[in-house]
Chain A
Amino acid sequence: MAAFLINSVRLPEWLAWTITALVAAALILNVIAGGALAFIWAERKIAARIQDRLGPTRTGGRFGWLQSLADGIKLLAKEDLMPDGADGMLFRIAPYVSFCASFCAFIALPFAFDFVGQRLNVGVFFVIAVLGLEVFGVILAGYASASKWSLFGAMREAAQVVSYEVPLGMCVVVPVMLAGSMDLVTIAEKQAGWLTNWYLFHDPFTFVIFWVYVTCAVASVNRAPFDLAEAESELVAGFHTEYSGLRWSFFFMAEYASMFLVSALAAILFMGGWNGPVPLAALAGFSEGNGDTAHYLVRVVGLANLLTKATLGVLFMMWIRWTLPRLRIDQVMTTCLKYCTPIAAAMFAGAMLWQLAFPGGLIPGMARPAGEIREGWLEGPGGQSAPVVVPSVDGTVAKAVR
């Protein structure tokens, strides 16, 4: 977009870059805020259905679809209270720390081939690193609230963080290893083609490790059965007991944004990203000669693909939230450290050996080997493709392909 503004509209370079950055930031903010509104409504409806209720029915006519907006307005109008003994500065800043961490992680998240705020060569790593910062807000809120419930929540969160981060990191490493890149765009592009090219179905080990990832991802966004930091039946509301109004809603936006983020990350790492189960574009005969409009349309379809997958992931998280009971903190640590970590390690080794043993997939022709598939015409006209190192089968030669 910046190139377009500079070359076609003849804007000065600094203005073009600023506008590009602002547009990207505004789009991401809309994804977060609009997503939170929709997901909170969905959560209430799903929770109600699972508990044999109706949920919101009146606001906005049928299905209560305006309920989230009404709640938002109510939250805006609410008084912003702060406890007497609270550490004022930390108390005020904590929700924004959480929110900013979620927001920053979105910057490197690609929504379609080149619909990405800033394509990073180390995208996965960046997203995981930034997502880990979200807990700062939780712990600060727990500390600064001067409330024992909040402090309990914060301490539980701290214990939880050190448990899930290890297996989460190991799960993410497997698709990185298969793709030979930490670039999220490259990882997703390597899974282009039929459903069987998804890393989820690459081999049995990746299938298992996907579910380990799901477990750790749920733990990382503080959702039941891992919502120890909140634990409304034990700790009132955990770390956000003392929050009200807009600050409280910032915590919730951060939570829903993180849910969406880890789901989108799962879609990109394991489920082909914006590549649908059926390579419609390739079957329809789209190729490089079809021009910019065709490229753009294909990307919009890809965007819809990714959003659908991520939304399904979020709905899955809601489903298990209202189905499973909350774990105790020691059970959380046992799950993450005693089970998930060894499983992830074993699956990592297994996936590695599988790649060595069956570099072309188990059934020849069913799945094309990872690394060979490039829908070359998807390389944008800007030539933004990063150099991709294709590790060959025997691991001796690595060549850089521009």
Chain B
Amino acid sequence: MGSESMISLSGPVLGPVLAIGLPVAAINWHSVLFLLFATLASIFAVGVVLTDNVVRMALYLVFSLAATAGLFFLAGAEFIGAMQLMIYVGGTLVLLVFGVMLTAQAPFVSIKPSAADRTLAGLAGSSLLVVLLAAALSVDSWQRPGLGEVTAPTATPLGMALLGMRVDGPAAGAATGAVANGYLLPFEIVSIHLLVVLVGAAYLARAKRRRTPRPIDAAASVVSAVSVVEGSERVELPAVVPPRSGSASALVAGGSK
């Protein structure tokens, strides 16, 4: 109602008066925001390629991916946007941590790919660009929603479909009378797969335990006990060090009785 009255006012009557204001009103602000986020994403993506420092690369990647998440939010796909933040941006955190750990030492501070690497990456990137451009140009007409007109689809149908129920009800299923199945099986397969990967990773990364304490561990426990006891102004060693105790605090507690 508001926009209608605006148009009727600004058209014949106030047209000349609002002529200066009109270009602002005529701008599709949805597109402006889109351009803003897209430009940010592109700039930081280029930054990832151009910088040598691993940590900066990770940071630019974070910004680029976050701008992409902004694009998703702009399109009203809130679930995908939050997913993008959680998985990609959050996942880059691990990359950043590895970067920090690696660059604490000098030889890895900067990464300079060889010419062959550059060529290969350039080929892969440009072929992907060609595919994407072809796909984008093959679309007949792009929808351009205005501000505030986006009716965001909720994540509920998606979640229910993953649980095996299609609440959105595809038309094809309704026509044939078949019950619309969700995606429970693929979902479960992926879940089990991820669980196996998790268990495997935990198995590979677990600390290898020895059955019997090594002599060096017993010695270490004595050393730590000495240092702690010195800290509490008791210079003499306890007469007997329990072989398996290894806990300096137990010794200190025993000594202070």
A positions within 8 Å CB-CB of B: 2, 6-7, 10, 12-14, 17, 87, 89-90, 93, 120-122, 125-126, 128-130, 132-133, 135-136, 139-140, 142-144, 151, 154-155, 158, 161-162, 181-182, 386-387, 389, 398-400
Judge whether A129 and B29 touch: CB under 8 Å.
no
Which of B3, B21, B62, B156 has the most C-beta atoms of chain A within 10 angstroms of its own C-beta? B156
Mark the stretch among B81-89, B124-132, B184-192 that contacts chain A: B81-89
Chain A interface helix/strand/loop/mixed:
helix
- Interface size class for chain B? 35 or more
Complex Cα distance A126/B78, Å?
A: 8
Q: Cβ of A181 and Cβ of B156 under 8 Å apart?
A: yes
- The residues of A that contact B86 with a CB separation of less than 8 Å are 125, 128-129, 132
* A51 nearest CB across to chain B (Å): 23
Q: A136-B93, A136-B96, A139-B100 are in contact. Are A14 and B2 (CB under 8 A)?
A: no
| Residue ID in chain B nearest A180 by CB atoms | B156
Which residue of chain A has the shortest Cβ distance to B90 in the bound complex? A132
A158 touches B97 (CB 8 A): yes
Q: Which of B38-46, B147-155, B220-228, B246-254 contacts A (4 or more CB under 8 A)?
A: B147-155
* A121-B2 contact in complex given A135-B93, A158-B97, A181-B156, C-beta closer than 8 Å: no
Which residues of B (41-84) have their CB < 8 Å from a CB of A?
53, 55-56, 59, 62, 66, 78-79, 81-83
* A129→B90 CA distance, assembly (Å): 8
A133 touches B160 (CB 8 A): no
A residues near B218, Cβ cutoff 8 Å = none
CB of B56 within 8 A of CB of A89, answer: yes
Chain B hits for A399, CB < 8 A:
167
14 intermolecular pairs with C-beta atoms under 8 Å apart? A6-B2, A12-B21, A14-B25, A14-B147, A122-B78, A126-B82, A126-B85, A128-B86, A129-B86, A133-B85, A139-B96, A143-B100, A151-B104, A182-B155
Q: Which of A130, A151, A161, A162 has the most CB of B within 10 A?
A: A130
Within the complex, the shortest CB–CB distance from A208 to chain B, in Å, comes to 24
Are A389 and B24 also in contact (CB < 8 A) when A7-B2, A10-B2 are?
A: no
A151, B100: Cβ atoms closer than 8 Å: yes
Q: Which residue of B lies closest to A388 (CB)?
A: B156
A10 close to B56 (CB less than 8 A): no
Q: How far is the CB of A166 from chain B (nearest CB, A)?
A: 10
Q: Which 10 A-B pairs have the closest CB atoms?
A: A6-B2, A129-B86, A129-B85, A158-B97, A121-B154, A126-B82, A143-B100, A125-B82, A389-B156, A14-B29
Closest approach, in angstroms, between the C-beta of B40 and any C-beta of chain A? 13
Q: Are A10 and B6 in contact (CB under 8 A)?
A: yes
Asked if A125 meets B79 with Cβ closer than 8 Å, knowing A7-B1, A87-B53, A161-B93, the reply is yes
Chain A residue numbers with a CB within 8 Å of B1 are: 7
Whether A90 lies near B55 (C-beta < 8 A) is yes
The residue among B1, B148, B160 with the most chain A CB atoms within 10 A of its own CB is B148
Q: How far is the CA of A155 from the CA of B102 in the complex (A)?
A: 12
Bitwise interface map of B from 125 to 168 toward A, beta carbon under 8 Å scored 1, else 0: 00000000000000000000011100010111000100001010
| Contact status of A120 and B90, CB under 8 A, knowing A7-B2, A12-B25, A87-B55 | no
Given A126-B82, A158-B97, CB of A10 within 8 Å of CB of B5? yes
User: Contact: B55 with A140, CB < 8 Å?
Assistant: yes
- Expressed in whole angstroms, the minimum distance between the Cβ of B215 and any Cβ of chain A is 23
Bound form: Cα–Cα A386–B86 in Å: 23
- B90: chain A residues at CB < 8 Å are 129, 132-133
B196, CB-defined interface residue at 8 Å: no
Complex Cα distance, B55 from A387, in Å, reads 43
Could you mark each residue 214-253 of chain B with 1 if its beta carbon is under 8 Å from any beta carbon of chain A, else 0? 0000000000000000000000000000000000000000
Is B101's beta carbon under 8 Å from chain A?
yes
Indicate if the CB atoms of B79 and A121 lie closer than 8 Å. yes
Contacts A12-B6, A132-B86 supplied; 4 other A-B pairs, CB < 8 Å: A17-B148, A121-B155, A154-B100, A155-B97
- B27 interfacial by beta-carbon distance below 8 Å: yes
- Report Cα–Cα, A121/B5, bound state, in Å: 31
Residues of B within 8 A of A125 (CB): 79, 82-83, 86
A93, A142, A398, most chain B CB atoms within 10 A: A398
Chain A contacts for B97, CB-based, 8 A: 139, 155, 158
**Minimal beta-carbon separation of A270 from chain B (angstroms):** 21
Picked from B21, B81, B148, B154, the residue with its CB within 8 Å of the CB of A13 is B148
Given contacts A7-B1, A10-B6, A12-B6, contact A139 B93 (CB under 8 A): yes
Structural contact, A120 and B78, CB atoms closer than 8 A: yes
Q: How far is the CB of A132 from chain B (nearest CB, A)?
A: 5
- Measured CA separation A77–B66 after assembly (Å): 33
A-contact 0/1 string along B160-181, CB 8 Å cutoff: 1000010100000000000000
- Write out the residue numbers on chain B whose beta carbons fall within 8 Å of the beta carbon of A90: 55-56, 59
CB of A21, distance to nearest CB on chain B (Å): 10
Residues 89 to 132 of chain B near chain A (Cβ within 8 Å):
89-90, 93-94, 96-97, 100-101, 103-104
